[in-house]
Structures are given as structure tokens and as C-alpha cells.
Chain A
Amino acid sequence: QVQLQQSGPGLVKPSQTLSLTCVISGDSVSSNSVAWNWIRQSPSRGPEWLGRAYYRSKWYNDYAVSVRSRITINPDTSKNQLSLQLNSVTPEDTAVYYCARYLPGPKVFDYWGQGTLVTVSS
């Protein structure tokens, strides 16, 4: 059974960096048959895909244009986890952040972390 356990601060000041971690159990961050994603959801809105990391003989990343200049998603193979860094945050980055596994075949997010509410405020 795949489980994704998220951790990280719930409050970040404007202009600072949002950092979250997603520990993966029941699968490998280096699996060559899935992709590992970060998704966020603002209050009363649909989810917004932020980006992903995946391994296919080497590591690849894809990012949403809306955050491309500020985001980094990195795997940590020694700890079997995925990280998210979002720089220069503003109050508009306030949201619940999720990590999620993506299956390329059906193109579906089949496992999700529990979610972390991050508030950007001074």
C-alpha cells in the first residue's frame, strides 16, 4: 500500500521560501513507471497542478508556467522522499498543498498525501 506523508511549516512570511517534504512508502521515488507531483488547492477552488519529478534513466521535471520561475521539485533517493520549494511567496500562494503519485498509463493521480495548509502572512 502506497502512503505519502507530508511535512513542513504551515506559516510562511511573504517573500520567503515555502518548503515541504513528502515521504514515500510502498513505492520508490526512483520508480521508472510513475511520476511524483505537487498540487495545491486554494479555498473553494479546484486543484492546481504545480509540477512533477520522474525518473526514466535520468531525472526529469515539468513545471506549471504560472510558477516555473519560482519552483523546484527534487527527489531525495536516500530518504525516498520528494521536496517542494516555492520561492518569493505572496499571499496568493496560500493554499493546501498535496503531493501525489501519477500513473502515466491512465494518466491519473492515484495516491495523495494528507495535504498541508500553508498560509503566507507576515
Chain B
Amino acid sequence: DIQMTQSPSSLSASVGDRVTITCRASQSISSYLNWYQQKPGRAPKVVIDTASSLQSGVPSRFSGSGSGTDFTLTINSLQPEDFATYYCQQGNSLPLTFGQGTKLEIK
């Protein structure tokens, strides 16, 4: 199985800050890396697919980069609605696996 490791596991930031979350795969996954945002009591919602493709309706302050084993999610100018938990997920091979999550909290 491909292990997905996110860092940090939690992050405190203020409105207006820029934050970066990283995700590392245990083996190369090409660009088959997706990022999800999850708020309490809700299902995950995809924000970035194939490493860098912004989902329709997602604000442009979200961006993703990387390929192979190392990926990043960057959020510029944090807004109050961005505070949530973020997960990466690889689609390169079965079983499809997720990272353990990064909880983004308001400082």
C-alpha cells in the first residue's frame, strides 16, 4: 500500500496568513494527488485534483504543486471559512489511500 504522510498534523494561523501543507507519498504517484477540505460533521470536499488543478468553485487562493512523491497545498490570504481539516489522497494505485490530515486552526 502507498502510505501518505502529511505535515504538519496541526497548524495555527491567522486570517490573512499564507499557509503551506505538505504531503509525501511512500512511492511515486505521478501527479495523482488530490486535496480535500473537511469541516466538522461534513463530508470531505475536493479542492485540488491531479496535484494542481483547482476544482470549479474553489477560490483561487488555493493552489497545489508537486509530482512524484512530494506535494504541497498552499492557501494564500486565509479566510475564516478556510479553517478546517485538509487531507491528501493518492489515486495512483489500489488501495486508494489518504493522509492522516492537517487541522488548520485559527490563532
Contacts and interface: CB of A to CB of B under 8 A. Distances in A.
A46 B87 contact: yes
Interface string A82-122: 00000000000000001010100011111011110000000
Interface footprint category on A: 20 to 34
A62 B93 CA distance: 12
Contact of A108 (B91, B100, B101): B91
B97 interface: yes
B63 interface: no
Contacts of B95: 49, 64-65
A9 interface: no
A27 interface: no
B100 A112 contact: no
Given A46-B99, A47-B44, A65-B95, A109 B89 contact: yes
Binding site secondary structure of chain B: loop
A48 interface: yes
Given A98-B43, A112-B43, A114-B43, A107 B98 contact: no
Given A46-B101, A47-B87, A110 B96 contact: no
A45 interface: yes
Given A49-B97, A107-B92, A112-B44, 7 more contacts: A46-B100, A47-B98, A49-B95, A106-B50, A106-B91, A107-B49, A109-B36
A107 B46 contact: no
A48 B94 contact: no
Contacts of B97: 49
A114 B38 CA distance: 12
Nearest to B4: A46
Contacts of A64: 95
Contacts of A62: 94
Contacts of B99: 46
B96 A49 contact: yes
Nearest to B99: A46
